[in-house]
């Protein structure tokens, strides 16, 4: 769900926090960072494991595992490549949910089906192979259902459509249908253009919007939903303030390189990232706070990525 | 939700049961039938009130109120006429849910958005003016929300899409959000071609599928959902067996009129309606049991009727 | 496009005409019938080649090639099986359009996107890999376009949506963009329940609606469009009269087997198929003439079949 | 259609050019500017009439009439207000197309249905009352068609979907169906956040994309289409560079006000708007050139505005 935060730099991605850590910090107590590059799949995988409260404070994220897959080709048309990514995604999901195909899985597609870049979650749900009702009718060992896991799914819509928070719908459904694990798929806002449609983040900590936010007011995690929650997030938009901020940084760099306007540069350089971001927000037209930025071919990108994610979930949940 | 029943004549419409009662039976204890013709709106309104168990047995329907609006023009394009129907619908809803605009309303759009005649419920939800989240954020007396009722809505999808019964999703949502009344909108199967897209049935008894049925296994009523339930149903399909059965009846009539084949006629005449229906089902290709019949312009009809219903709900829930 | 014919038995499928021919007629001048069973793909393939006017008169179809693929599994979920069918479909398309990947192809998806069983054509268009604009921008030998055929596509909608006949839109587009061949994909009406969603018909004669019909008033063929036309048709609906007619036949059979009602049977038996069909239409409620019958899971079936067809077109048009 | 221009400041709106003219220029030969404020409808209407080549050069726009409706409430939910706007829109369309209800009208909905802010044109087409096929079947004086104008419509899709330019599809359709006038509805890119979803531009000059552009390579006007063309455009996106540029201006203003960094300000002030815009583009991440900015509630806004426009076209084309 695309959100908008007023009071801090916007990022839903743990790796964007982790990046600022130098190599040596990988050994710091509380955070373990491990990186793998899968040459076959042209994927760079980063595991960030926040092991205790100290680590959580350092990264400003809840304790738990964060897996980030990065690849420049995620929005490409190449079908074979998407199959590779599907395989990598399956392996990582397997780490976060051991024995997934023996568990009752509820997949939740967060987002607004009517807004192209926010439709990712609902579109993943559309492509899933849904079996819970079949197992309930025929048992798990019938000719019709052998090898099937137990998968149900819901796209709870957004508040403007239902008048309810996603959390309310999901909790209600969990209470009634008692799944073992929830997999929540959501379109995220990235802070960097570079990450757009090229990063998949998996985490067993659920979804935690910043304070004072848009559609998703409360977290979706083990605490609020009562069962383990794995979130799959893809940045499909950036907010307008980020774009402005990034450009300003470039401007400062250029000025500095040319030895120009040293005074300006010095003074603005004294701002930290957070301060610069807030300055930009203040200067921008107020309407911009409620706007998002997304690529012009977002329809095709969303179609491809949603298919890749649903294929991974289908393949790992069912043994057919 | 379009359903398929194997063991009895298919009708979701109380009036189809009531029609077989002669005038004198209107005074029978247990059932009160009252008819009104609204000349302005070209609507014939029938109130069937089943007051006790005896009445329920006679009509084979649960105790409660059934209001049927009949009009040949429901699928017409005439916008003014749809406004008339909207008004009639509001008056009848007002009878079933007194003080509706003071109550917390959950509207449920049953059905499969991907099957044109079954998309009625979800499309009504699409057109609603949703306010629960606004009232929760701004209170009911802010400039933004004055005059608004408290309306939330959900289209729970069908089992093939979610793996869950509609009842499970709806109960979960009710538990979490505690509405006072549920209004359930559903596309029905009619037994007679004549009723298709020309009848609206309102009832405070909820929805009760026959035994051994399709998507909707359990009733959606006060007992299963825990709050008062008003159902709005529109027949948008008929099942294939009904079409065959109706034609057979015509054939018998023609034969009889011509004094032909007395023997055949006599023998088939000894079948009651239920037996004839079962005979037809047996003779039909087995695939037909899972088929429905619907008009070729069902897309436009559904669009118009869904709009009319949502306008009535919007107007009666909010005082703006 | 789903059509409705008043004056003759409804069938868009050449094989339904050919079936009434006995084996010996295969050698008749004017018509060559060849049958292949592809055990791997569980497909039965029938080639009907109407070679001259005599053959055309016999089958009541224009001269040309008709290829029918029959398989009971077309609406199944099995992905591997759909890949087999895709391959068979490619081989047959190759017979009808030699050197297809060297030709400029316009794919036309006939039908109403808003009516589930009629959305097949538009959905095939949605899944195609479209390249004409890329070749025009980058040439056919750039890094970006190497191996690509030249494919454009349009879903012209139906008259109620555009006010124009499909033929007008298609002719206009052909005049402006000058493709070499048109591939027209259309949902058909079948006469037999058995054929529903289990038959694919390919023909180089285009599409020829019967006289006095619905949406498609004029043929779409080489004569009206000015270029070779290959039609791919899938029966996704049957009309209501067909269902009734089929059941009546079963009834007569049952009566006969029981030695009952000889008189009736004899007299009805003297009707030929056409007469029986007309009798049924007359007995049916007049509204039924504008209704169609389709399976309750038609949404999933259409999704799968449209994907299979578009995959075949993609694979045969491009050499990537 | 959302486009992206590399070489000049991005604006599709004539009024944005006209605004830079001072009052006195209203009398300049070649351009007549007339302003009306409709208090009832809270609409400010500006007529810019470019009468000759000199005027065209001054404003950088083709000769013809440009009518701009401005209102802050266009994306509001208020139904009565939308009725007012519909009336204003009708009056202005009447000026541009005299005797419209006696003419054969082709409405063209430009844009990509799959990208929310670009779906405006296709959605207007969805809501139109289409009559050309009825008049052709029943004549214009039948009970069924009396009072109807002759309206046809098409949503030609975008090149990535069809492989064809919009112009090719539209020209083809015009050649075949010979309408008198084309009304082209399109989502535009605005240069100012303030104009977003609050401006409607009407013009009898058609649509003229800047040089070296995206989807719409060639103009859609009387010259290319062969018949008079009236374009209705609504800015629904702004491009990312615009947002950055606007913020930079604010930054400069703030700096200036504080008497700070005079040197910087002076030097940047010497840039004209075009130069500043190009500087910003250069500094931005290259991906941004292919991105757009749009509000988070764009789905509801597009739904409302498309309905308002189609109501105006329906009401003015038909006299029912």
One DSSP character per residue, chain B reads -----SSS-----HHHHHTTS-GGGGGSTTEEEEEEEETTTTEEEEEEEE-SHHHHHHHTS-SEEEEEEE-TTTTS--HHHHHHHHHHHHHHHHHHSTTGGGSEEEEEE-S-TTSGGG-HHHHHHHH----HHHHHHH-TTSTTTTT--EEEEE----HHHHSS-HHHHHHHHHHHH--SEEEEEEEEEESSGGGTTTEEEEETT-B-PPSS-SS--S-BSHHHHSS-EEEEEEEEEEEHHHHHHHHHHHHHHHHHHTT--HHHHHHHHTS-HHHHHHHHHHHS-GGGGGEEEEETTHHHHHHHHHHHHHHHHHHHH---
The whole-number average pLDDT for the span D261-290 is 65
- Comparing CB atoms, the residue among C247, C254, C291 nearest residue B293 is C291
Mean pLDDT of chain C: 83
CB atoms within 10 A of CB B282: 13
Name the token pair of A119.
């439709």
Contacts of D114 in chain A (CB under 8 A): 116, 299
Looking at residue C246, what is its pLDDT? 75
Contacts of B291 in chain C (CB under 8 A): 193, 243, 293-296
Strand pairing class (C64-70; C43-50): antiparallel
pLDDT > 70? residue C21: no
CB atoms within 10 A of CB D35: 11
The model's pLDDT over D256-275, given as tens digits with 9 standing for 90+, comes to: 665 555 555 455 556 666 67
Residue D78: phi, psi to the nearest 5?
A: -65, 110
Q: Which of D304, D268, D289 is nearest to D82 (CA)?
A: D304
pLDDT > 90? residue A91: yes
The model's pLDDT over C184-218, given as tens digits with 9 standing for 90+, comes to: 999 998 878 888 889 999 999 999 864 333 445 57
Cβ–Cβ of D300/A193 closer than 8 Å?
A: no
pLDDT > 70? residue B184: yes
Which residues, including other chains, have CB under 8 Å from residue D93's CB and lie 6 or more apart?
A: D100, D183, D202, D230, D312, D313, D316
Mutate to test the interface with B, among A157, A163, A218, A318 (most CBs of B within 10 A): A163
Looking at residue C267, what is its pLDDT? 56
Band (D303; pLDDT cuts 50, 70, 90): very high
Mutate to test the interface with A, among B135, B151, B164 (most CBs of A within 10 A): B164
Looking at residue C211, what is its pLDDT? 34
Q: Which of B73, B61, B314, B7 is nearest to B207 (CA)?
A: B61
Residue B74: phi, psi to the nearest 5?
A: -60, -30
Contacts of B124 in chain A (CB under 8 A): none
Q: Are C202 and C184 in contact (CB under 8 A)?
A: no
Give D53 or C76, the one with higher predicted confidence. D53
- Comparing CB atoms, the residue among B4, B291, B300 nearest residue C160 is B300
Looking at residue B63, what is its pLDDT? 94
Q: What is the 3-state secondary structure (H, E, C) of D218-256?
A: CCECHHHHCCCEEEEEEEEEEEHHHHHHHHHHHHHHHHH
pTM score: 0.88
Interface residues on B facing A, Cβ-Cβ cutoff 8 A: 125-126, 130-134, 150-154, 157, 159-165, 168-169, 171-177
Share of chain D above pLDDT 90, in %: 52
Band (B264; pLDDT cuts 50, 70, 90): low
What letter does residue D200 receive in the DSSP assignment? E
Interface residues on D facing C, Cβ-Cβ cutoff 8 A: 125-126, 130-134, 150-154, 157, 159-165, 168-169, 171-177
- Comparing CB atoms, the residue among D251, D285, D296 nearest residue A291 is D296
Mutate to test the interface with C, among D1, D151, D163 (most CBs of C within 10 A): D163
- Comparing CB atoms, the residue among B152, B153, B164 nearest residue A173 is B164
Looking at residue B38, what is its pLDDT? 78
Band (B23; pLDDT cuts 50, 70, 90): very low
pLDDT > 60? residue B159: yes
Q: Which of C113, C102, C82 is nearest to C310 (CA)?
A: C82
Cβ–Cβ of B292/C297 closer than 8 Å?
A: no
Cβ–Cβ of A130/B160 closer than 8 Å?
A: yes
Cβ–Cβ of B283/C243 closer than 8 Å?
A: no
Cα C197 from chain centre? 11
Looking at residue C272, what is its pLDDT? 67
- Comparing CB atoms, the residue among D214, D283, D296 nearest residue A247 is D283
Looking at residue A38, what is its pLDDT? 78
Looking at residue C115, what is its pLDDT? 96
How far apart (Å, rounded) are the C-alpha atoms in residues D319 and A238? 47
The whole-number average pLDDT for the span D121-146 is 94
Among A20-24, B72-76, C133-137, D80-84, name the most confident range: C133-137
Looking at residue B266, what is its pLDDT? 55
Give A6 or D174, the one with higher predicted confidence. D174
pLDDT > 50? residue B286: yes
pLDDT > 50? residue C5: no
Contacts of D191 in chain A (CB under 8 A): none
Looking at residue D211, what is its pLDDT? 33
Q: Are D241 and D280 in contact (CB under 8 A)?
A: yes
Contacts of C175 in chain D (CB under 8 A): 172, 175-176
Mean pLDDT of chain D: 83
Give D29 or D82, the one with higher predicted confidence. D82
Q: Are B50 and B29 in contact (CB under 8 A)?
A: no
How far apart (Å, rounded) are the C-alpha atoms in residues C28 and D320? 60
ipTM over 0.90: no
Band (A276; pLDDT cuts 50, 70, 90): low
The model's pLDDT over A31-67, given as tens digits with 9 standing for 90+, comes to: 999 988 877 778 899 999 999 999 888 888 899 999 9
Looking at residue B157, what is its pLDDT? 95
pLDDT > 60? residue D11: no
Interface residues on B facing C, Cβ-Cβ cutoff 8 A: 2, 4, 112, 114-116, 160, 193-194, 196, 214, 240, 243-244, 246-248, 250-251, 254, 261, 263-264, 280, 283-285, 287-288, 290-300
Rounded to the nearest angstrom, the minimum Cα separation between D241 and chain A is 9
Looking at residue B39, what is its pLDDT? 75
The position carrying tokens 């808003």 is C114
The whole-number average pLDDT for the span A229-246 is 87
- Comparing CB atoms, the residue among B159, B162, B173 nearest residue A164 is B173
The model's pLDDT over C289-301, given as tens digits with 9 standing for 90+, comes to: 788 999 999 999 9
- Comparing CB atoms, the residue among B2, B160, B285 nearest residue C300 is B160
How far apart (Å, rounded) are the C-alpha atoms in residues C223 and C218? 11
Number of A–B residue contacts, CB under 8 Å: 94
pLDDT > 90? residue A4: no
The position carrying tokens 């670009």 is D118
Looking at residue C260, what is its pLDDT? 53
Contacts of C161 in chain D (CB under 8 A): 125-126, 130, 153
Share of chain B above pLDDT 90, in %: 52
Query: What is chain A's alpha carbon radius of gyration, rounded to the nearest angstrom?
Result: 21
Name the token pair of A11.
């990022």
Cross-strand partners of C199:
C70
Cβ–Cβ of C284/B250 closer than 8 Å?
A: yes
**What ranges make up the beta strands (E) of chain C?**
31-38, 43-50, 64-70, 104-109, 150-154, 181-190, 199-203, 229-239, 291-295
Q: Are D111 and D220 in contact (CB under 8 A)?
A: no
How far apart (Å, rounded) are the C-alpha atoms in residues A169 and A156? 6
Looking at residue D7, what is its pLDDT? 33
Interface residues on C facing B, Cβ-Cβ cutoff 8 A: 2, 4, 112, 114-116, 160, 193-194, 196, 214, 240, 243-244, 246-248, 250-251, 254, 261, 263-264, 280, 283-285, 287-288, 290-300
Rounded to the nearest angstrom, the minimum Cα separation between C106 and chain D is 9
pLDDT > 50? residue C227: yes
What letter does residue D113 receive in the DSSP assignment? T
pLDDT > 80? residue D94: yes
CA distances from D61 to D15, D18, D239, D318 (A): 11, 10, 20, 32
Residue A260 DSSP SS3: coil
Band (B197; pLDDT cuts 50, 70, 90): confident
Q: Are C82 and C304 in contact (CB under 8 A)?
A: yes
How far apart (Å, rounded) are the C-alpha atoms in residues A71 and C287? 57
Name the token pair of D134.
């009825």
Q: Are B222 and B228 in contact (CB under 8 A)?
A: yes
DSSP secondary structure letters along B160-189: HHHSS-HHHHHHHHHHHH--SEEEEEEEEE
Residue D202 DSSP SS3: strand
Looking at residue D1, what is its pLDDT? 52
Which residues, including other chains, have CB under 8 Å from residue A51's CB and lie 6 or more apart?
A: A29, A30, A31, A32, A63
Mean pLDDT lowest for which of B130-134, C70-74, C116-120? C70-74
pLDDT > 70? residue B165: yes
Looking at residue B139, what is its pLDDT? 93
The model's pLDDT over C157-167, given as tens digits with 9 standing for 90+, comes to: 999 999 999 99
Looking at residue D281, what is its pLDDT? 67
Looking at residue B218, what is its pLDDT? 73
pLDDT > 50? residue B6: no
Looking at residue B217, what is its pLDDT? 59
How far apart (Å, rounded) are the C-alpha atoms in residues B230 and B207? 9
Cβ–Cβ of A283/D243 closer than 8 Å?
A: no
The whole-number average pLDDT for the span D4-32 is 53
Name the token pair of A63.
């304790």
The whole-number average pLDDT for the span C238-244 is 80
The model's pLDDT over C245-270, given as tens digits with 9 standing for 90+, comes to: 777 777 767 666 655 555 554 555 56
The neighbours of chain B, by the rule of 3 or more Cβ pairs under 8 Å, are A, C
């Amino acid at each position: 769900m695309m959100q908008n935060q007023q009071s801090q730099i916007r990022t839903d991605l743990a790796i964007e926090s982790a990046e600022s850590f130098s190599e040596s910090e990988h050994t710091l107590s509380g955070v373990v960072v491990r990186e793998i590059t899968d040459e076959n799949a042209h994927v760079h995988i980063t595991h960030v494991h926040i092991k205790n409260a100290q680590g959580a404070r350092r990264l400003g994220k809840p304790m738990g595992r964060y897996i980030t897959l990065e690849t420049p080709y995620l929005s490409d048309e190449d079908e074979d490549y998407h199959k590779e990514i599907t395989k990598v995604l399956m392996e990582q999901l397997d780490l976060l949910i051991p024995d997934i195909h023996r568990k009752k899985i509820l997949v939740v597609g967060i987002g607004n089906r009517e807004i192209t870049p926010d439709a990712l979650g609902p579109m993943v749900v559309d492509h899933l192979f849904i079996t819970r009702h079949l197992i309930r009718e025929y048992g798990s060992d019938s000719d019709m259902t052998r090898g099937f896991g137990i998968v149900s799914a819901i796209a709870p819509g957004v508040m403007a459509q239902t008048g309810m928070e996603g959390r309310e719908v999901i909790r209600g459904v969990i209470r009634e249908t008692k799944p073992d694990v929830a997999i929540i798929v959501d379109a995220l806002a990235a802070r960097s253009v570079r990450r757009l449609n090229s990063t998949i983040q998996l985490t067993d900590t659920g979804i935690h919007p910043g304070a004072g936010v848009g559609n998703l007011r409360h977290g979706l995690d083990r605490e609020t939903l009562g069962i383990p929650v794995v979130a799959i997030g893809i940045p499909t938009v950036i907010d307008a303030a980020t774009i402005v901020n990034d450009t300003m940084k470039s401007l400062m760099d250029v000025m500095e390189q040319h030895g120009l306007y040293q005074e300006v540069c010095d003074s603005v350089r004294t701002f930290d990232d957070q301060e610069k971001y807030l300055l930009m927000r203040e200067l921008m037209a107020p309407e911009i706070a409620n706007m998002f930025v997304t690529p012009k071919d977002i329809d095709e990108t969303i179609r491809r990525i949603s298919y890749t994610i649903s294929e991974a979930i289908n393949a790992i949940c069912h043994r057919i």
